[in-house]
């Protein structure tokens, strides 16, 4: 390997890592706010890629059926819960959130079928379609067991992942997809050619991580999320509803996972079940960040991306084996840190 190849591999690795960064940050965010290790984030990313691909070919994406099903189920649960508690006052607002809002992008997708939206329109519609999925699943699956142990919540998340893979096959079919490149442009540095798309991926990752940081630092909702993560009882005593913060967290994390799905779609062939491996690698980044630190998670995710890039140069067949082989000692070391941070939060 010469310096030129190393530079290209490093650039590729950073771009792949940048995609994992977005999902990894989502893992940390959801864990902090809800204590759920949200295994299906990779699936959310993969479904976004599949949605974008369907829109490119002028089809109504499978996400439409998925969102309708989830919205109806969540609404039924909400009505039942409110009837039982005899608190019907908030029902119109709840219906707006669980039924009307999720169906807006669904309607948009129907109206748009067969029309050319342009790249930006397709990306925006894909993100809007995927955004309600995780918050609705939260309402249906996690809210009834919100007070359970971390281990039980993790088990539920794993089951949910397998359920989603099944739904993915049902709604998207078995074909793999690869979307059009974001751009074909190239640029040259020191006699080497790099694609502008790689640069765009890294830039998107930096911009959206940065926006999340600004949200946490400068908005009341962002501070409410941090407060819930740090001290759930204290937050409730301020009138901050855990259900509200977890919905906001899921919307934000879905947006990040969705963006990573958009970014990965033109560089990798994505199937309905590709989410697991993507999610697992991002999860490794989050574990390197001890499920608590956003900057360390980002660094960890980049490290995984680099490892993957160089491993695929040495042997593309054993790429994943090499990646996880190298990571196991790192994970053992970092999991000690994770255990410490978990004990702190349970204090």
Partner 1 sequence: MALLSLENLWVSYGKVEAVRGVSLAIEPGEIVTVIGPNGAGKTTLLSAAMGLLPSRGAMTFDGVDLRRLDIEARVERGFCLVPETRELFANMSVADNLLLGGYARRRDAAGRRRALDEVMERFPRLAERRTQPAGTLSGGERQMLALGRALMARPRLLLLDEPSLGLAPLIVREVFHIIASLHGLGVAILLVEQNARAALETADTGHVLEAGEIVHSGPAAALMNDPKVAASYLGGR
Binding site for partner 1 (CB under 8 A): 86-87, 220, 223-224, 226-227, 230-231, 233-241
CB of 244 to partner 1, least distance (A): 9
CB of 237 to partner 1, least distance (A): 6
Q: Is there a contact between 336 and 327 (Cβ–Cβ < 8 Å)?
A: no
Please write down the HEC assignment for all residues of 131-157.
CCHHHHHHHHHHHHHCCCCHHHHHHHH
Instruction: Report how far Cα 43 is from the mean position of its chain's Cα atoms.
Output: 8
CB of 287 to partner 1, least distance (A): 22
CB of 224 to partner 1, least distance (A): 6
User: Closest CB to partner 1 among 76 and 230?
Assistant: 230
User: Closest CB to partner 1 among 136 and 224?
Assistant: 224
Q: Which of 158, 119, 188, 187 is nearest to 37 (CA)?
A: 158
CB of 231 to partner 1, least distance (A): 6
CB neighbours of residue 267 within 10 Å: 19
CB of 233 to partner 1, least distance (A): 6
Q: Which of 180, 252, 160, 183 is nearest to 211 (CA)?
A: 252
191-203 exposure pattern, b = at least 16 Cβ within 10 A, e = fewer: eeebbebbebbbe
CB of 297 to partner 1, least distance (A): 17
User: Closest CB to partner 1 among 88 and 185?
Assistant: 88
Q: Is there a contact between 81 and 98 (Cβ–Cβ < 8 Å)?
A: no
CB of 219 to partner 1, least distance (A): 10
Residue 41 CA to residue 253 CA, distance in Å, equals 8
**Phi, psi dihedral angles at 127 (to 5 degrees):** -65, -40
Q: Is there a contact between 38 and 31 (Cβ–Cβ < 8 Å)?
A: yes
Radius of gyration of the CA atoms of the chain, in A: 20
Q: Is 140 left (phi over 0), alpha (psi -120 to 50) or beta?
A: alpha
Q: Extract the tokens encoding 306.
A: 């680099």
User: Closest CB to partner 1 among 188 and 233?
Assistant: 233
SS3 268: coil
User: Closest CB to partner 1 among 180 and 231?
Assistant: 231
User: Closest CB to partner 1 among 1 and 237?
Assistant: 237
Q: Is there a contact between 289 and 72 (Cβ–Cβ < 8 Å)?
A: no
User: Closest CB to partner 1 among 241 and 339?
Assistant: 241
Q: Which of 143, 123, 120 is nearest to 131 (CA)?
A: 123
Residue 259 CA to residue 254 CA, distance in Å, equals 8
User: Closest CB to partner 1 among 59 and 223?
Assistant: 223
CB of 88 to partner 1, least distance (A): 11
User: Closest CB to partner 1 among 86 and 93?
Assistant: 86
The strand pairing partners of 189, in sequence order, are 192
């Amino acid at each position: 390997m010469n310096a030129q190849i190393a530079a290209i591999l490093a650039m590729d690795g950073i771009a792949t890592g940048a995609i994992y960064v977005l999902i990894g940050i989502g893992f940390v965010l959801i864990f902090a706010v809800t204590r759920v290790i949200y295994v299906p984030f990779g699936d959310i990313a993969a479904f976004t890629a599949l949605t974008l691909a369907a829109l490119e070919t002028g089809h109504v994406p499978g996400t439409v059926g998925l969102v309708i099903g989830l919205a109806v189920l969540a609404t039924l649960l909400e009505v039942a819960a409110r009837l039982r508690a005899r608190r019907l006052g908030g029902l119109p607002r709840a219906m707006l959130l669980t039924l009307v809002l999720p169906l807006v992008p669904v309607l948009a997708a129907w109206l748009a079928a067969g029309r050319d939206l342009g790249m930006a329109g397709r990306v925006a519609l894909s993100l809007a379609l995927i955004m309600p999925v995780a918050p609705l699943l939260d309402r249906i699956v996690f809210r009834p067991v919100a007070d359970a142990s971390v281990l039980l919540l993790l088990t539920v998340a794993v089951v949910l992942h397998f359920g989603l893979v099944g739904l993915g096959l049902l709604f998207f079919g078995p074909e793999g997809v690869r979307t059009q490149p974001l751009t074909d442009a190239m640029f040259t540095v020191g006699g080497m050619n790099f694609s502008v798309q790689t640069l765009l991926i890294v830039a998107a990752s930096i911009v959206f991580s940065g926006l999340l940081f600004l949200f946490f630092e400068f908005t009341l909702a962002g501070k409410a999320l941090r407060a819930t993560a740090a001290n759930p009882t204290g937050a409730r005593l301020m009138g901050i509803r855990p259900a509200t913060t977890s919905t906001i967290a899921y919307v934000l994390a879905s947006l990040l996972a969705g963006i990573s799905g958009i970014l990965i779609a033109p560089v990798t062939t994505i199937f309905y079940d590709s989410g697991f491996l993507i999610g697992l690698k991002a999860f490794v980044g989050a574990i390197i960040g001890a499920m608590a630190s956003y900057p360390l998670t980002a660094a960890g995710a980049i490290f995984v991306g680099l490892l993957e890039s160089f491993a695929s140069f040495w042997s593309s067949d054993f790429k994943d084996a090499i990646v996880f082989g190298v990571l196991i000692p790192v994970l053992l070391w970092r999991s000690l840190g994770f255990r410490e941070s978990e004990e702190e939060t349970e204090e």
